[in-house]
Amino acid sequence: MLGRVQRATLALVCWIFGAGLAAAGEAAADHAETREREVSLDEIVAFAERHAPAIALASRQRAYALAERRGAEPWLRDNPRLELGVGPRFTGGGTDVDAFAALEQPIEIGGQRARRLTAAERAAERAAAEIAAVRWEVRRDVVLAYHAAVIARERLELARRMVVLSEALLTAAERRLAAGDVSAIEVLTARAELAETRHEALRASEAFRVARLELARTAGWPLSAPPQVSGVLDPPGPVPSLDDVLRSSKGRHPELVLRQAAVREASARVAVADRTAWPSPTLGVEVAREGAPGGAPSTILLGTVGMPLPIFRKEQGGRATARAAVDVSRTEAAIAARALEAGLVRAHAALAGAAERIALLTTSGVPPVEEALALSMRGFDAGEVPLADVIALRERLLSVRLELLDAHEDHARALAELEFAAGAALSRAPSGSGAQR
pLDDT at 11: 47
Alpha helices (H) along 303-315: none
Distance (Å, whole) CA 392 – CA 390? 5
Phi, psi values for residue 313, rounded to 5°: -100, 115
pLDDT at 271: 86
Does residue 178 carry a pLDDT above 80?
A: yes
Q: How many domains does the chain have?
A: 1
Query: What's the whole-number average pLDDT of the chain?
Result: 84
Q: Is residue 421 part of a domain?
A: yes
Between 183 and 218, where is the model more confident? Answer: 218
* Span of 146-160, 216-230, 302-316, 342-356 with lowest mean pLDDT: 302-316
Q: Is residue 45 part of a domain?
A: no
Q: Is residue 39 part of a domain?
A: no
The domain of 287 spans 50-436
User: CATH code at 217?
Assistant: 1.20.1600.10
Q: Is residue 180 part of a domain?
A: yes
Q: Is residue 11 part of a domain?
A: no
| Tens-digit pLDDT profile for residues 359-409 | 999 998 899 998 998 998 888 888 888 888 889 998 999 999 999 999 999
pLDDT at 33: 52
Please check whether residue 93 is in contact with residue 294, taking contact to mean a CB–CB distance below 8 angstroms.
yes
* Span of 8-12, 109-113, 137-141, 251-255 with lowest mean pLDDT: 8-12
Does residue 184 carry a pLDDT above 70?
A: yes
Q: Grade residue 335 by pLDDT with cuts at 50, 70 and 90.
A: very high
pLDDT at 434: 37
Q: Is residue 73 part of a domain?
A: yes
Q: Is residue 40 part of a domain?
A: no
Residues near 402 by beta carbon (within 8 Å), at least 6 away in sequence: 155, 158
Q: Is residue 26 part of a domain?
A: no
Q: In terms of C-beta density within 10 A (0-12 exposed, 13-18 middle, 19 or more buried), how is residue 292 classed? A: middle
| Tens-digit pLDDT profile for residues 12-71 | 444 444 544 444 444 444 444 556 688 999 999 999 999 999 999 998 988 888 888 888
Mean pLDDT, residues 228-245 taken together: 85
pLDDT at 9: 44
| Tens-digit pLDDT profile for residues 296-330 | 788 889 888 888 877 777 778 888 888 898 999 99
Please check whether residue 104 is in contact with residue 306, taking contact to mean a CB–CB distance below 8 angstroms.
yes
pLDDT at 427: 57
